[in-house]
Amino acid sequence: MDVVTRLRLLVNSDGELYECRNCGEKLDHDCEECPTCRSTEIAHYEF
């Protein structure tokens, strides 16, 4: 599987990806805190 195909699987319908910078958990939407590790460092990518 190439990189572009993998990104398409991770990106939501709005072309955005939210990811915890601490543990790497992929999140469905923008949130204040990671539900897995409770970190507040959430990355936001737009494609």
Residues 29-41 pLDDT 10s: 878 999 999 999 9
Task: Note the pLDDT of residue 37.
Answer: 98
What's phi and psi for 17, nearest 5 deg?
-135, 130
d(CA 33, CA 47): 22
d(CA 28, CA 2): 22
- Displacement of CA 7 from its chain's centroid (Å): 10
Task: Note the pLDDT of residue 7.
Answer: 65
Strand partners, 19: 26, 43
Give 12's pLDDT tier (boundaries 50, 70, 90): low
d(CA 13, CA 2): 20
Mean pLDDT on 16-37: 91
